[in-house]
Amino acid sequence: MSKSQITFNKKEREKKKLLKKQQKIEKKEFNKTNNDKGKSLEELFAYVDEHGNISDRPAIKLKEGESPSMTSNHHDEYSFGKVVHYNAESNYGFIRDNDTQQSIYFNDRLVGQKLNLNQKVKFKFKSAKQGAQVTEVLIEY
């Protein structure tokens, strides 16, 4: 009688091969169920404004010869929003504009009064190098 031609190493290589095959099939099934294909192209876009802030909305398109101050004069008109973040230790926070959903920085020292979280406010803001900053706040009741 002859000795079996299947050695220990051959058995181990076969086991590893089957294990890799099984892992590949499992990974394929996982990727099939958890794929994020089918998202619209607009959901994948990110827009950057002139100050380097990233948002999911495009910037306002200007007509030729029109400057940004002509389209939105934030110095003269109030915007409405609510305080969405407030750090009591450092006395700063962010107000979310109801119209644009933009977060605008404020500091108690700049505003001249203390604000509370989820407080509805009427405010004016200006664009600065770091982004938009609140210049004046009126509390809504």
Q: Are residues 46 and 93 in the same domain?
A: no
Is residue 105 situated within a structural domain?
A: yes
The number of folded domains in the chain is 2
Q: Are residues 84 and 129 in the same domain?
A: yes
Please state whether the predicted TM-score (pTM) of the whole model is above 0.85.
Answer: no
Output the pLDDT for position 48: 83
Strands (E), the chain: 47-48, 54-55, 79-87, 92-97, 103-107, 120-128, 131-139
Strands (E), 17-141: 47-48, 54-55, 79-87, 92-97, 103-107, 120-128, 131-139
The residues with which 54 forms a beta bridge, in sequence order, are 48
Highest average pLDDT, of 14-23, 64-73, 128-137, comes from 14-23
Chain centroid offset of residue 99 CA: 17
Chain centroid offset of residue 62 CA: 25
CATH number for the domain that contains residue 91: 2.40.50.140
**Six-digit token string for 119:** 């407080």
Domain limits for position 22: 8-53
The residues, ordered by sequence, that sit 6+ positions from 70 with a Cβ below 8 Å of its Cβ are none
Output the pLDDT for position 76: 61
68-94 pLDDT tens trace: 544 444 456 888 999 999 888 888 899
Output the pLDDT for position 40: 67
102-131 pLDDT tens trace: 888 888 887 777 888 888 989 888 887 778
State the average pLDDT over residues 12-16: 94
- Whole-number Å distance between alpha carbons of 28 and 140: 55
24-83 pLDDT tens trace: 999 999 988 877 676 666 677 788 877 777 877 776 665 555 445 444 444 568 889 999
